[in-house]
A = this chain, B = another copy of it.
Amino acid sequence: MKVHILGCYSATPRALTNPTAQVLEIRNHLFLIDCGEGTQVQLRKNKIKFSRINHVFISHLHGDHFFGLPGLVSTFRLLGRKKELHIYGPKGIKEAITLMLKLGDSWTTYPLLFHELGSKGSELIFEDDKVTVETIPLKHRIYTNGFLFKEKPALRKLNIAAARKYGVDKSQFNLIKQGSDGTDTEGKTIFNELLTHDPEPPKSYAFCSDTVYDEGLVNFLRKVHVLYHESTFLTSDEHLALKTKHSTAAQAAKIAKLADVGTLILGHYSMRYGSLELFKKEAEAHFDRVALADDGKVFDFSGNLSQ
């Protein structure tokens, strides 16, 4: 599991910083989460293969989270895309994107499928044999969702040397990877634990931006491996966080602690402060495992995590 931060600054794109967009690499999926203006350029700069993105999740319809989407959808067309593209986002997103395409008489050459969200509760919005994605209802100025990505348990890892040693035929390998015992040439049962290693435990990633401080989130976030939680402000501006329905770094850390998450990644920074280290410092007063997002940064959570 990897998280590629394409943009993690609030409000407007600037010469050196980008609005929200990130790519979650999980079990061979590349999920694009939010798509501020310039996201397609950030995808190029970060050498992420456009063609592997089949699912886009949009948290809410403020410009710094979705104004890059019409351009990305159009560029997919210019690149000759044929594969389906699925877009998950608040009601209205379909009308906006299709209007932009209609005005340019630039219909896509590929199936563009919208999954509009309107529920106030959490919903399962994506599932295949490897991953599920659920919404996390966030409290912001307009209808907003976070997203919880969970790996399903992986297949057990076959120990081929052991299978040979016990005389287990390869026709049984698929079932053994799913947990079944094997049988040797004489019909004797060979227990699964002799033939397989444990797979990596399933991981989870929660994206929560934009949101006011809300302890109600803890129920959705309990023990997730990695939490990206917005921290637009420092504590000195907590009143602004409340007013604009954003969070401070300390508040993000409090949520991380209450939910006992593995790692907290901070982002969605206001540009008014001199240093990102201030966000880290204020968060670490409440929670130990804090990381700072920055544009172009890649977080690699492959291997066994602490949780």
Contacts and interface: CB of A to CB of B under 8 A. Distances in A.
A63 to B, nearest CB: 4
Contact of A70 (B60, B63, B74, B142): B63
A63 B106 contact: yes
A78 B11 contact: yes
Interface stretch (A33-41, A124-132, A272-280): A33-41
Interface stretch (A12-20, A148-156, A170-178, A249-257): A12-20
A95 B102 CA distance: 12
Interface in A77-122: 78, 90, 92-93, 95-96, 99-100, 103-106
Chain A, interface residues (CB within 8 Å), range? 35 or more
A63 B71 contact: yes
A15 B71 contact: no
Contacts of A92: 103
Contacts of A105: 141-142
A44 interface: yes
A78 B12 contact: yes
Interface string A29-53: 0000000011011001100000000
A62 interface: yes
A189 interface: no
A67 interface: yes
Contacts of A159: none
A68 interface: yes
Nearest to A13: B41
A80 to B, nearest CB: 12
A100 B11 CA distance: 15
Given A13-B38, A37-B40, 15 more contacts: A11-B78, A12-B75, A13-B41, A15-B41, A15-B44, A37-B71, A61-B103, A61-B104, A62-B106, A63-B100, A63-B104, A67-B74, A67-B100, A96-B99, A96-B103
Interface of A: 11-15, 37-38, 40-41, 44-45, 60-63, 67-68, 70-71, 74-75, 78, 90, 92-93, 95-96, 99-100, 103-106, 141-142
